[in-house]
Amino acid sequence: MNDAALETPAAAAGRRLTLNLGPQHPSTHGVLRLLVEIEGEFIRKAEPDIGFLHTGIEKQCEALTWQQAVTLTDRVDYLANLSNNLCYALAVEKLLGLEIPPKAQWMRVLLAELTRINSHLVWLGTQALDIGAMSVFLYCFREREDILRIFEMFSGQRMMTSYIRIGGLALEPPRGWDRAVSKFIRGFPAKIQEYEDLLTRNPIWLRRTQGVGCLPLADLIDLGVTGPVLRASGLAWDIRKTEPYSSYEKFDFAIPTRTEGDVYARYLVRLEEMRQSARIVEQALAGMPEGAYQADAPKVVLPDREKMKTQMEALIYHFKIVTEGFQVPAGEVYQAVESPRGELGYYVVSDGTAKPYRVFMRTPSFANLQALPRMIENRLLADTIAAMGSLDFVLGDVDR
Amino acid sequence: MSVQAADVAPIVEAVAARLPGAVAEIRSDRGQAIVYIAPEAIVDVCRFLKEEQQFERLAGITAVDWYPLDPRFEVVYFLHSLSRQQRLRLKCRVAEEQAELDSLTAVWRSANWYEREVFDLFGIRFRGHPNLRRIMLPEDWEGHPLRKDYPVHGFKYGYKDES
């Protein structure tokens, strides 16, 4: 933005205006209310007001059985359902001491990476839309639709998949899933190039994003920011590499980083992450192990339909799991995964009964949003929209 | 597949040597270390861990309600060291009558919203917090929903057959 054309801060000093951005403003990506005090075009103070989407998910988890609570994890971050399913399932499996068969682990990786692409596509489309580049949104949603179709093929649901369950996967992967995924993923890198052609050297895009929303790396860490925002400021930290889960250590991928730390750097990091995710999906396709898609744990996993009709024990287990759920040994576990937005952590406490005693979700959006005021204070109001979009928060993930 | 780098013993020893009486108990669950800290020492311990043991990040704060046990609450702090790739979980036991702890906002700024959330949903207060208001629920909400004696459907709207 051309600062000279605007009212100088000196002229506007003393004429402070309190402005209410949201909660229904479209660029807040949900229902975020942002109270800003402005002097002319400059923001002097900003305060996010959250909680409009608070639905007490953590409390509701305590009223459901362990397996039922999976459906609530979908609704936390509605753009990264499978990452949430995965994190919760890993935490409970650790409490149970369950061993997950390789095929289920690889399938989870494949789905988590498709989720990352899905989430980044929504981010890219809406970020561009906010800044005024309408058409990028249409391109992104074209590919997102393909991913949602794949999710529907797997689970019967486009968004609230609940496909990753405690003990493995909900259903056997459908016939022809590999063809559908490979058709999408082969064509995808060319699509990323299309987005790049639209934006990477676009002068309007550059002027709206470069040098906007910067914070020193130490401040970001202190504020608890994680994920692509941190990597765009130069820290190559990715939980998939440092604390690998679900066989991520068997995949070959790079952690893209930039050092500028502005909105443009975050854009470049996320685009590169989509390319890396596509690589992981291709590796998962090529090396998908054979075998069971659920753990061999009759007390936790529902028995095969055929077994249930022919074996007494299987019928008893089925009855017990369906009527009262399964008990999880007392204890507590904190499990972190790299969601598209950063560190997603589930802290799960069991008192030995069939329902979770406490589920705490350490959601990346909550921590990332906390850093927003420091990024936009004493900067132009117009930059707020760009900075806000670049944090890529989902209000469902913030409010839970 | 262990998330935690296992060995936190030297860190805990360093804390105990610097701040005698601060470490109340050490436990391990599924290979993850849990250190109980005396509530009055929590700020000193965290400052020491951040400044001298490279725990640069506070990943989050939450609480667990063990009603009707006494002390009723456990406040849980998730610490993470980026340079050592190590995680550490600190806990403080808090009784209901004196549900108060010192705020960590002066050590990590990320503590701000997490402490507000614990205050909002559990009713545990944090001394010295710059802005201790409800964060998720409306300002005039009554009660703290994540307490175990708070019904899932709330106090206001019961089922039809309840009074």
Q: How many folded domains does chain B comprise?
A: 1
Is the CB of residue A303 less than 8 Å away from at least one CB of chain B?
Answer: no
With CA atoms as reference, the chain B residue closest to A237 would be B82
In angstroms, the separation between the Cα of residue A220 and the nearest Cα of chain B is: 9
Q: What is the mean pLDDT of residues A358-369?
A: 92
Q: What is the mean pLDDT of residues A69-91?
A: 91
Helix (H) or strand (E) holding B125: strand B125-127
The answer to whether residue B6 scores a pLDDT higher than 70 is: no
For residue B13, give its domain range: 9-127
pLDDT band at A184 (very low <50, low <70, confident <90, very high): very high
Q: In a mutagenesis test of the A interface, which of B74, B87, B110 is the best target, namely the one with the most A β-carbons within 10 Å?
A: B110
Question: Residue B42 maps to which CATH number?
Answer: 3.30.460.80
With CA atoms as reference, the chain B residue closest to A95 would be B30
**A312 or B13: whose pLDDT is higher?**
A312
Which residues from chain B sit within 8 angstroms of residue A51, using beta carbons?
Answer: 134-138
Which residues from chain B sit within 8 angstroms of residue A237, using beta carbons?
Answer: 82
In angstroms, the separation between the Cα of residue A394 and the nearest Cα of chain B is: 15
Domain assignment present for B4: no
Domain assignment present for B64: yes
Domain assignment present for B93: yes
Which residues from chain A sit within 8 angstroms of residue B121, using beta carbons?
Answer: 58
Quick check: B152 and A62 CB within 8 A? yes
Q: What is the pLDDT, as a whole number, of residue A42?
A: 87
The answer to whether residue A14 scores a pLDDT higher than 80 is: no
Q: What is the pLDDT, as a whole number, of residue A394?
A: 87
Candidates A50, A59, A333; nearest CB to B30: A333
Domain assignment present for B153: no
Q: What is the pLDDT, as a whole number, of residue B5?
A: 45
pLDDT band at B1 (very low <50, low <70, confident <90, very high): very low
Q: What is the mean pLDDT of residues A4-18?
A: 67
Question: Measured in Å, how far apart are chain A's first and last C-alpha atoms?
Answer: 36
Q: In a mutagenesis test of the B interface, which of A33, A50, A59 is the best target, namely the one with the most B β-carbons within 10 Å?
A: A59
The answer to whether residue B28 scores a pLDDT higher than 90 is: no
Query: What ipTM was reported for this prediction?
Result: 0.88
With CA atoms as reference, the chain A residue closest to B111 would be A223
Percent of chain A beyond pLDDT 90?
Answer: 49
Domain assignment present for B162: no
pLDDT digits (tens, 9 = 90+) for A344-357: 999 999 999 999 99
Quick check: A335 and B3 CB within 8 A? yes
Domain assignment present for B136: no
Given its phi and psi angles, is residue A17 left (phi above 0), alpha (psi -120 to 50 degrees) or beta?
beta
pLDDT band at A366 (very low <50, low <70, confident <90, very high): very high
In angstroms, the separation between the Cα of residue B55 and the nearest Cα of chain A is: 10
What mean pLDDT is reported for chain A? 89
Q: What is the pLDDT, as a whole number, of residue B12?
A: 81
With CA atoms as reference, the chain A residue closest to B67 would be A357
Which residues from chain B sit within 8 angstroms of residue A357, using beta carbons?
Answer: 64
Quick check: A58 and B146 CB within 8 A? yes
pLDDT band at A393 (very low <50, low <70, confident <90, very high): confident
Candidates B62, B110, B145; nearest CB to A223: B110
Q: What is the mean pLDDT of residues B3-9?
A: 60
Quick check: A333 and B56 CB within 8 A? no
Percent of chain B beyond pLDDT 90?
Answer: 34
With CA atoms as reference, the chain A residue closest to B153 would be A60
Q: What is the pLDDT, as a whole number, of residue A15?
A: 80
Q: What is the pLDDT, as a whole number, of residue A8?
A: 61
pTM score: 0.90
pLDDT band at B160 (very low <50, low <70, confident <90, very high): low
Quick check: B152 and A223 CB within 8 A? no
The answer to whether residue A214 scores a pLDDT higher than 70 is: yes
Q: What is the pLDDT, as a whole number, of residue B4?
A: 45
Quick check: B85 and A243 CB within 8 A? yes
Q: What is the mean pLDDT of residues B127-155?
A: 87
Q: What is the pLDDT, as a whole number, of residue B150?
A: 87
Is the CB of residue A35 less than 8 Å away from at least one CB of chain B?
Answer: no
Q: What is the pLDDT, as a whole number, of residue A138?
A: 92
pLDDT digits (tens, 9 = 90+) for A140-151: 999 999 999 999
Q: What is the pLDDT, as a whole number, of residue A25?
A: 66
Domains within chain A, CATH numbers bracketed: 3-49 (no CATH), 57-399 (1.10.645.10)
pLDDT digits (tens, 9 = 90+) for A240-297: 998 899 889 999 999 999 998 899 999 999 999 999 999 999 999 999 998 888 888 8
Percent of chain A beyond pLDDT 70?
Answer: 96
pLDDT band at B151 (very low <50, low <70, confident <90, very high): confident
Q: Which of residues 75-134 of A touch B (CB under 8 A)?
A: 94-95
Q: What is the pLDDT, as a whole number, of residue A265?
A: 93
Domain assignment present for B135: no
The answer to whether residue A229 scores a pLDDT higher than 50 is: yes
Q: In a mutagenesis test of the A interface, which of B4, B27, B28, B30 is the best target, namely the one with the most A β-carbons within 10 Å?
A: B30
Is the CB of residue A182 less than 8 Å away from at least one CB of chain B?
Answer: no
